[in-house]
Chains A and B, each alone.
Chain A
Amino acid sequence: MQFTLGSIFIKDVQFGPRTEVAGGTLFVNKGELEELLMQDEHLQSVTLEIAHPGDSIRIMPVKDVIEPRVKPELDSGIFPGMVSKMFTAGVGRTHVLKGSAVVTTGRIVGYQEGIIDMQGPGAELTPFSQLHNLVIVAEPAAAITPHQHEAALRKMGLRAANYLGQAARSLEPDETVTYELLPLHEYHRRYPDLPKIAYVYMLQSQGLLHDTYYYGVDVKNMVPTFMHPTEVMDGAIVSGNCVSACDKNTTYHHLNNPVIHDLLKRHGKDLCFVGCVITNENVTLLDKQRSSDLTAKLVEYLGVDGVIISEEGFGNPDTDLIMNCTKIERKGIKTVLITDEYAGRDGTSQSLADASPLADAIVSAGNANALITLPPMERVIGSLEPAEVIAGGFKGNRNADGSLTVELQAIIGATNELGFNRLTAREY
């Protein structure tokens, strides 16, 4: 099986009379998209805005970021089983509007939506400052519950991205990459001398606004399973959570999972990447034991020499991370963990809530408690009002000069545990 990912490089996003790509600019028919999104009875209003890299704009509270994509061979959009008909993701061909994104904001759902600054020191910490963002400010209908509100915003963002993706349907990509997917034994046969690697992909599933979906299935109700690496590129995994902004995986992160992309890039060169095991991060001990036992079993079944394990969130999921690590290591399979740290604002506290001597190879995505002061921006899309209550904010963090002091925790994707960024921490 093959999967071809074609990128169309987007250098600008503007409103225009028709939704189309012309000369590297994505034009968006504002009225048409607004009308489409307003078909959801859970929404009272939607407003579209545009934010470019370098603009003096702060977007908050951000719920999700989604990259527009389309499968030319399918009539419907991507995100199968969630907002589109079911199809097996990660085969065939997909076009991406690379350099653009849909960002969803509006009245806060939980406490854990975050900030995107398009310029200044905050912009250096989030990858989304580098994109041309179509921002949807959505206000929920009256009397809506937080759970309905979350679902409405989630689906709204995905539908908007699918709408934009249509503009890429018949375009000739600027760049294409083709991935070959083999039956498991073929990987072992074809690359006998390369180390066999698998990826254990932990998905946030603590529940109560901390959910992730695989083909529309709430992953707290699934057992660990195998996944082809390319499935994420068609939106098989969707973010539905309001966990702390810095280390939640937005849908954009899932679509562009860096562990998967970097393993595929090195596949056949210095390693052999045989596939992924996706697992969850549930809250009860029984669930944790079941998921980590079965994850270790599937990894052993793949016959690999080593795995990379990525976490999502912190605290409670640290226990899942360590259970996965110790059970896989005890089978004689090497592990490297990607996590971030909560070492306190001064950096002197223990970084993780759990540990094991077997967790001897860890990549750190940085200390999320570290403070940063974000200078005032000329324009705010969304609202500054939740600045004190979002995770990473605190009473009195809005300074007299208009600047805002927060922990990195409040910045979307700042300490992403898929290893999306270059940020790290070390001991001084």
Chain B
Amino acid sequence: MEQKRVVVYLNQFFGQIGGEDKADTPPQSTDKPVGPAVGLSALLPKNCTIVRTIICGDGYFNENLEEASAAVRQMLKELSPDVVVAGPAFNAGRYGMACGMVGKIAFELGIPAVSGMYPENPGVETYRPYLYIIETGNSAASMRTALPAMAKLAGKLANGEPIGAPAEEGYLSRGIRRNLFAEKRGSDRAIDMLLQKIKREDFTTEYPVPHFDRVEPAAAITDLSQATIALVTSGGIVPKGNPDRIEASSASRYGRYSIDGIDSLTPEAFQTAHGGYDPVYANENPNRVVPVDALRELEREGRIGKLFPYFYATVGNGTSVANARAYAQEIAAELVNEGVQAVILTST
């Protein structure tokens, strides 16, 4: 079997440099397995060798995230391991965040990574999409069960073997939905599930619904005649030709377009890029989706202070919630910075 290279990441305590007084230790590394890496070394498949142990103080890593990350990235680049093992961090918050970040750096370099954490460690929530986190107890007392599971998973990852579901491998769900073929077709599975549910037997939903955010609307504006209003749409209205190439579905970007001096969106100058509805009526009159004409009228009548001179647009068709949230955060920050008091959101 081909030899595989493993790099271990530990904090100052497990790396045997010292306790809290040494938490400001910058990243360093040693050729020899140290602390838990010694135990791990014995548990890894025979073709896997720990080639380096990186050690960094938890305080240093979290307070100098950029510098620490750059140093770890440089080391991983040079070492080009087949897998990175970080921790286990149990319920140590700063250590968990550092292990998670190391996993993210490895992910960005295309290297798989494994850690071990207690489910409530903040590192789990922040970094779980980037690495496999074996579920551990909340203290180092669970080292004995954590290490074999981590070693087994790290060995599989190093050797490019398929990774099973969270319950099979012992890792905490990464929140990644992946496709696979079931044995029965969906309609038959639905009937099985319904009969189990009616008979009050155990059943497992194939999609556990998330808890949705409920955003409290901001307080109403008391004097609209002084307010700057912006238009933001998921209806895909863009300048003719779609200069930013916003996709018809699953948009990966949004655009900001000037309406300074524009009284009404004309079909000559604007169109929709949206692929989820019949575009005929939106293309005929883009104001139907982004009502610039109506807002200008209100502006002239003095009912609103002014219309913000740009509108923002993306396509809300199969666009992931994560992307939509990221666009909204950026757009909202810009609008707040530029003194906008209210936004009219139009969807289609």
The residues of A with any CB-CB pair to B shorter than 8 Å are 110-112, 145-147, 195, 197, 206, 208-210, 244, 258-259, 261-263, 266, 270-271, 305-308, 314-315, 334-336, 338-339, 341-357, 359-370, 389-395, 407-409, 416-428
Contacts and interface: CB of A to CB of B under 8 A. Distances in A.
Contacts of A206: 277
B194 A336 contact: yes
Interface string B96-117: 0000000000000000000000
15 contacts: A111-B276, A208-B281, A344-B323, A350-B321, A361-B194, A363-B206, A389-B248, A392-B318, A395-B245, A424-B189, A425-B178, A427-B173, A427-B175, A428-B173, A428-B174
B280 A349 contact: no
Contact of A367 (B178, B183, B199): B178
Contacts of A307: 194
Interface in B163-181: 163, 165-166, 173-181
B192 to A, nearest CB: 9
Nearest to A333: B198
B200 to A, nearest CB: 9
Contact of B250 (A259, A334, A360, A369): A369
Interface of B: 129, 163, 165-166, 173-191, 193-195, 197-199, 203, 205-212, 245, 247-250, 252, 275-278, 280-281, 316-318, 320-323
Given A391-B276, A409-B318, A426-B165, A197 B207 contact: no
Contacts of B211: 355
Contact of B185 (A361, A417, A419): A419
Contact residues of A: prevailing secondary structure = loop
Contact of A422 (B129, B184, B190): B184
Given A336-B193, A359-B209, A427 B317 contact: no
A343 B191 contact: no
B187 A364 contact: no
Contact of A391 (B188, B249, B321): B249
Contact of B209 (A334, A342, A362): A362
Contacts of B322: 344, 348-350
B40 to A, nearest CB: 23
A363 B209 contact: no
A365 B275 CA distance: 22
Contact of B177 (A308, A338, A425): A425
Contacts of A271: 191, 195
A421 B197 contact: no
B132 to A, nearest CB: 9
Contact of A208 (B177, B194, B205, B277): B277
Contacts of A423: 179-182, 186
Contacts of B280: 145-147, 208
Contacts of B318: 244, 314-315, 342, 368-369, 391-392, 407, 409
A351 B318 CA distance: 10
A355 B211 CA distance: 8
Nearest to B173: A427
Contacts of A112: 275-276
Q: In the A-B complex, list the 6 residue pairs whose CB atoms are closest, starting with the nearest.
A: A419-B186, A419-B187, A208-B278, A344-B320, A349-B320, A111-B275
Nearest to B191: A262
Nearest to A342: B318
B181 A308 contact: no
A407 B179 CA distance: 12
Contacts of B281: 208
B174 to A, nearest CB: 6
Contacts of B208: 427
Contacts of A357: 209
A299 to B, nearest CB: 13
